[in-house]
Structure 1
Amino acid sequence: MWTSLIGPLLVIMIALAVVGTVKRIRLWQQGKPASFPIGRALAAIPRRYLVDLHDVVARDKAFANTHVATAGGFVASGILMVLVFVLGLDNTLTFALMSATFAAMAFGAVKVKKRRENPPANLSKGPWQRLPNSLLVFSFSGLMMSLLLLLGIGNVPIIVAALLIVGILLGLAELLFGMTWGGPMKHAFAGALHLGFHRRQERFGGGRSTGLKPINLDEQTLGVEKPSDFYWNQLLGFDACVQCGRCEKVCPAFAAGQPLNPKKLIQDMVVGMAGGETGNYAGSQYPGKSDEARCGAPDKPLFEGLLDAETVWSCTTCRACVEECPMMIEHVDAIVDMRRNLTLAKGETVGKGAEVLENLIATDNPNGLSPNSRANWSVDLKLNHLSEVGTTDVLLWAGDGAFDLAYQRTLRAVVTLLRHANIDFAILGNEELDSGDLARRLGDEATFQRLAIANVKTLNKYQFRSIVTPDPHAFHVLKNEYPDFGGSYDVFHHTEYLAKLVEQGDIKLKQAKSQSVTYHDPCYLGRYNGGYDAPRYLLSSMGLTVSEMERSGYRSRCCGGGGGAPVTDIPGEHRIADMRMDDARETGADMVAVACPQCAVMLEGVVMPRPEVKDVAVMLLDAVVENADAGQAKAVGE
């Protein structure tokens, strides 16, 4: 019977796929070692694939259903083919199941084909345009074969039998070899393993992991100079990219016309890992850059031909790309790793970055101001200093507000609100150093670690229950990155802490005047830490209705102020802050409520006419000022 040929051919193809698998694994192993319990990692893959990955895929419900039908149908059909043609389990039940799985895959393949007829710009073309045809040929040939077996029709014209066998084998070759030898389907193999051996295991099961990981400053190579300097499971993650372009669609730098496309960057990392040139890439380029092919190799420095440094300096570290990636790739980690090498090993921080880092080294603040003036903002407020009282309930972390007059409006409002709620709080005053966030995002891990260690040493001298700060960047670093240096604290963003006080009745509010308000989610409060609800709760507690921007919550557009972007200042076609203000204008709101001093600076820098920009804490104070004493209200200033 003609179907007897399928079994031996299937065994040969599986053997060749195994060879490809070994070769692919060796490519990943060029990276630095990272130890994992292999059994536990492999066992975790099914749940992470079915739950964590599909939670992201399901944001596009239509395609999620297509993916389930196509991928699920392929896997099930492949297993049944092995059972039937290799192990000899050929009976009516297996024929019926095989017919059903091939039918499901055929349904999905038709949907994929339709999606690819006029693909959006974010989808890569090239071999990806061929893939739907391979899916169709394989699924319909397999479905026809399965139905013939199910109906007991063994004798068919030789031309029909040949066409069915060739269709199955051609389609299977594209899918099977594509997974293991490096084709459009390689994301299926690499992606599955990536879920098990992911560098951030905490992301799975509903967890969150956003803090940058420390590097050993005694290592010979600081950061990443060449592809082989990445950890092996980072290279595996790059290979998992499906080139869907979801990261490209949400990247603020790409939208602004700066020379960064996170999808293109990851594909360049793959070229660097595997060797060769970028000419086969068939997606959107870096804005403002030519599509001229570039070459890479595992041991060739990335910025000697493959990449331009301004590509990694364009990133605002907003994690929008990471949030949207269905394969859960960590773009920001890779970018900061490369920045570390540029800054620490080569001294090539761009723009005003070098000056800012020099200031941090000399004065422990990015503006180069006298560290002995850090507490000057609070002189008239007569605040308790921890060095004097030794213990307190709340430590108020001032951050850059110690030197920035605009930020001090928020800081002073928080002081007044804490006093109104009778909270026992104090500040570090001149003992507080910069949190190190900016230094770390600019790649200066050495300065960050010095600042972190010094701050932890100071904090651990005193007793307090929690830290409160209005700066999401300091909040993130203190909460998620200081524990690596011996500093584990209960850290609250000011909106979170104030929301608790309002909810408990410690702060009583009057209804704010009627006005239309929209709220801008800071990246380091929202995507980094899940802080979406508290600011909105405070606004609603004031009787305000929030008109949400189209891009809000976890899809909020960055203000352009993170990752050192204002000091690296890579030119583009637009300013990210202008684009964000356009989002706000579309709501028709009169005011943009913010919860981050950096966001406030960026959005207030947009030319008029535009909505007013005001921190949630200042708005909250306006709603309680009649209940506070006049001296406290006056302390906030205009």
Structure 2
Amino acid sequence: MSALISLLWGVAVIGFVVGVMRRVSLWGQGQSARAALPLSLLLTIPKRYLVDLHHIVARDRYIARTHVAAAGGVVGSFVMLGVVYVAGFRNGLSYGLLWGLLALGLIGALFVARRRLVKPERLSGGPWMAVPYSLFAYGLGFLMLTLAESRAIDPALPWALIGGGLAVIGLIEITGGALLSRPLKHVLSGSVHLAFHPRQDRFDSVGQLSTDLKPIDSEAAQYGVGHVHDFEWNRLLSFDACVECGKCEAACPAFAAGQPLNPKKLIQDLVAGIEDRSDARYAGSPTPGLAVGQHHPGLDGDIIPSLIEEQTLYACTTCRACVNECPMMIEHVDAIVDMRRFVALEQGGVPGNANAALDALRHTDTVGGFDVSQRGNWSIDLDLPVASPGHAVDYLFWSGESAFELRNQKTLRLLAKLMKKAGLSVAVMGGRELDTGDVARRLGDELLFQNLAERNLARLAELDFKQIVTIDPHAFHALGQEYRAFGGDLDVLHHTQLLNALVQSGQLTISQRLSLGTLTYHDPCYLGRYNGEVDAPRALLKAITDDFVDMQRSAMDSRCCGWGGGAAFSDIPGERRIPDMRMDDIHQVAANTVAVACPNCMTMLDGVVQSQTEVVDIVELVADAVGVA
């Protein structure tokens, strides 16, 4: 019996090692990682697994406990099998620890089985349905073998046959998963992914929320990712770590709207590309409107459109809801934008009206094709100076595309009046201000974005100011976060941050608290999920009214309005409009008023045909409370 256990353990180790070699060769198709990734990062796995990962997994307490029991029991018991039967440490303590861990694994298997019996729609089926049976087989098989070997039960009974058979079934799934591309390859790929994650800053004390889009070399032989092997090797590893839990799918606004995007399916398509096979093995919710089994990587690992449809890439709003929910910290949005770069710059086109928007940016430096010299016209009668070299101001007012839109000009004007009332030194850029290029970057025209970023930074360098303030979270993010890659070191404030600081300091005094019926707030993705700012807008609203309530999907879990990522221009059709779904969320709390903090959210939500809820910018409410008209 002891020899049988040792043999099974040894064969399992060999199978696992061969599986490691296979997966390493698959990941190795990719490009070299941009940053050095020493093998010593493997030592970080325990901390990242137990702390950094589980603060995400723990949002679902049932799965968190399941993971601890199943993973801890299986991995721990397998190690103890080696300690007892290979290293020879056989005593009451070692046997007790081994049996305790096997029992823990069986408890975990029960949890897994219960989740699979009452399976949420987002979970994949197929091979994943066999996981609880494999865990039971492993635990029961080795429990029988070890109890019989230690004579805790009658060794004369056929435990070797029954237990050995069950143990083999379990080991094929657990230690053979990496070799056979079964679900529990995750034991390997999930762990190694945590060590060599493409975003090492995701494990900082606070954690980086933003994307990690890299500038591209204008002289590069190819722009973007058009083939599986164009991804860096550790990004291929990150795709391979997906456990098909479907949390990204459940959070995705495009999927909910019936547009042709399922972020889980997209990642699994990339895994199919890594393994050079079709998507026929996928057993989860399909991409809306696209049949499973019809896609296969093309010649030399081509991705678009043979494996992933162009419309799938451009249905994404880049809201990062998928990334926020992913328990494996997979960066779906970065991968999508990298593939969009290939479409926009190599294949020469983007869908819908996106081409017109990019053409307007190239020729006029504005998305709408406006005369940039007219950008400051909204402020002419407000006596706001136009920033110029040699004239220092505290605040530089970044107008954005709102300068050309009548509805959003109201927000700009009220903010300017509030800043003047608070006695702030402020100037506008006028015609010196170009579009930040956010739309170009998200649509995939990285070269256009870089051109605008470099020109804007050159113009800003000529001016003397302390901080930039903007009403647009996309400009807030681009200027404050993404311009850093081009030498920008800008201190940028969103208008809700500035107004909250002015109210809290007493520079703006609330003269009347507002009675608005029920008031709720819609979080812009690029303010909340991208930059973590969810508190300032709420503090501001609570300072001016007692009527505030949050929606169920709010703060970091907010549902996108549907504008971001160029989606308002690519306009991929679906079964519903994303802003209509967000308005349904608003109506669920019976809101009379919804406050927004983004001109693009204003455009999308104000465009929903309904009469129950008024859409206003937070600035309008603050102005009413302060007494500014």
Fold match (TM-score > 0.5): yes
**How far did residue 148 of structure 1 move?**
4.5
TM score, norm. by length of structure 2 = 0.97
**How far did residue 521 of structure 1 move?**
0.7
What amino acid is aligned across from residue 71 of structure 1 in structure 2? A
Supply the distance in 1 between the matched residues of 2:157 and 2:189 (Cα, whole angstroms): 38
Residue among 564, 569, 573 paired with 1:562: 564
What amino acid is aligned across from residue 120 of structure 1 in structure 2? P
Matched-pair contact (CA < 8 Å) for 1:479–1:488: yes
What amino acid is aligned across from residue 527 of structure 2 in structure 1? L
Supply the distance in 2 between the matched residues of 1:555 and 1:64 (Cα, whole angstroms): 19
Supply the distance in 1 between the matched residues of 2:309 and 2:430 (Cα, whole angstroms): 42
**Identity rate, percent:** 47
SS at match of 2:481: helix
Aligned partner of 2:217 in structure 1 is 216
Matched-pair contact (CA < 8 Å) for 2:15–2:179: no
Aligned partner of 2:463 in structure 1 is 462
1:414-563 aligned at under 5 Å gives the runs 414-509=415-510, 510-563=512-565
Supply the distance in 2 between the matched residues of 1:159 and 1:298 (Cα, whole angstroms): 53
Supply the distance in 1 between the matched residues of 2:247 and 2:209 (Cα, whole angstroms): 20
Matched-pair contact (CA < 8 Å) for 2:278–2:297: yes
Matched-pair contact (CA < 8 Å) for 1:8–1:86: no
Aligned partner of 2:279 in structure 1 is 278
SS at match of 1:439: helix
Supply the distance in 2 between the matched residues of 1:274 and 1:514 (Cα, whole angstroms): 57
Aligned partner of 2:346 in structure 1 is 345
Residue among 604, 608, 615 paired with 1:602: 604
Supply the distance in 2 between the matched residues of 1:312 and 1:466 (Cα, whole angstroms): 35
Supply the distance in 2 between the matched residues of 1:224 and 1:275 (Cα, whole angstroms): 16
Matched-pair contact (CA < 8 Å) for 1:360–1:368: yes
SS at match of 2:604: helix
Matched-pair contact (CA < 8 Å) for 2:374–2:431: yes
Supply the distance in 1 between the matched residues of 2:241 and 2:426 (Cα, whole angstroms): 48
**How far did residue 389 of structure 1 move?**
5.5
**How far did residue 352 of structure 1 move?**
0.6
Supply the distance in 1 between the matched residues of 2:77 and 2:626 (Cα, whole angstroms): 65
Aligned partner of 1:636 in structure 2 is none
Matched-pair contact (CA < 8 Å) for 1:515–1:544: no
Aligned partner of 2:408 in structure 1 is 407
**How far did residue 140 of structure 1 move?**
2.2
SS at match of 1:465: strand
SS at match of 1:468: strand
Once the two structures are overlaid, the 10-residue window that deviates more, 447-456 or 383-392, is 383-392
Once the two structures are overlaid, the 10-residue window that deviates more, 22-31 or 138-147, is 138-147
What amino acid is aligned across from residue 486 of structure 1 in structure 2? G
Matched-pair contact (CA < 8 Å) for 1:364–1:434: yes
Matched-pair contact (CA < 8 Å) for 2:399–2:471: yes
**How far did residue 180 of structure 1 move?**
4.5
Tell me if 1:386 matches 2:387: yes
Matched-pair contact (CA < 8 Å) for 2:518–2:590: yes
1:94-493 aligned at under 5 Å gives the runs 94-148=94-148, 152-153=151-152, 155-205=154-204, 206-211=206-211, 212-296=213-297, 299-387=300-388, 390-493=391-494
Superposed CA deviations along residues 181-203 of structure 1, whole A, max 9, x for unmatched, are 42101222111111111111111
What amino acid is aligned across from residue 359 of structure 2 in structure 1? E
Supply the distance in 1 between the matched residues of 2:43 and 2:424 (Cα, whole angstroms): 49
Supply the distance in 1 between the matched residues of 2:567 and 2:328 (Cα, whole angstroms): 26
- Give the length in aligned residue pairs: 625
Aligned Cα root-mean-square deviation (Å)? 1.5
Superposed CA deviations along residues 145-191 of structure 1, whole A, max 9, x for unmatched, are 444456x4375135222211221222022111113442101222111
Matched-pair contact (CA < 8 Å) for 1:275–1:298: no
SS at match of 1:295: coil
SS at match of 1:13: helix
Supply the distance in 2 between the matched residues of 1:290 and 1:550 (Cα, whole angstroms): 33
SS at match of 2:117: coil
Matched-pair contact (CA < 8 Å) for 1:359–1:367: yes
List runs of 5+ in structure 1 lacking aligned partners. Answer: 634-638
Superposed CA deviations along residues 453-479 of structure 1, whole A, max 9, x for unmatched, are 001111112222211111000001111
List runs of 5+ in structure 2 lacking aligned partners. Answer: none
What amino acid is aligned across from residue 381 of structure 1 in structure 2? L
Matched-pair contact (CA < 8 Å) for 2:523–2:554: yes
What amino acid is aligned across from residue 266 of structure 1 in structure 2? I
Superposed CA deviations along residues 534-565 of structure 1, whole A, max 9, x for unmatched, are 00000000023322111111111100010001
Distance 1:522 1:554, change over 3 A: same
What amino acid is aligned across from residue 128 of structure 1 in structure 2? W
Matched-pair contact (CA < 8 Å) for 1:227–1:298: no
TM score, norm. by length of structure 1 = 0.96
Matched-pair contact (CA < 8 Å) for 1:273–1:297: no
Superposed CA deviations along residues 16-40 of structure 1, whole A, max 9, x for unmatched, are 2111111111111111111423234
Once the two structures are overlaid, the 10-residue window that deviates more, 319-328 or 508-517, is 508-517
Aligned partner of 1:584 in structure 2 is 586
Once the two structures are overlaid, the 10-residue window that deviates more, 573-582 or 135-144, is 135-144
Aligned partner of 1:614 in structure 2 is 616
Supply the distance in 2 between the matched residues of 1:371 and 1:602 (Cα, whole angstroms): 24
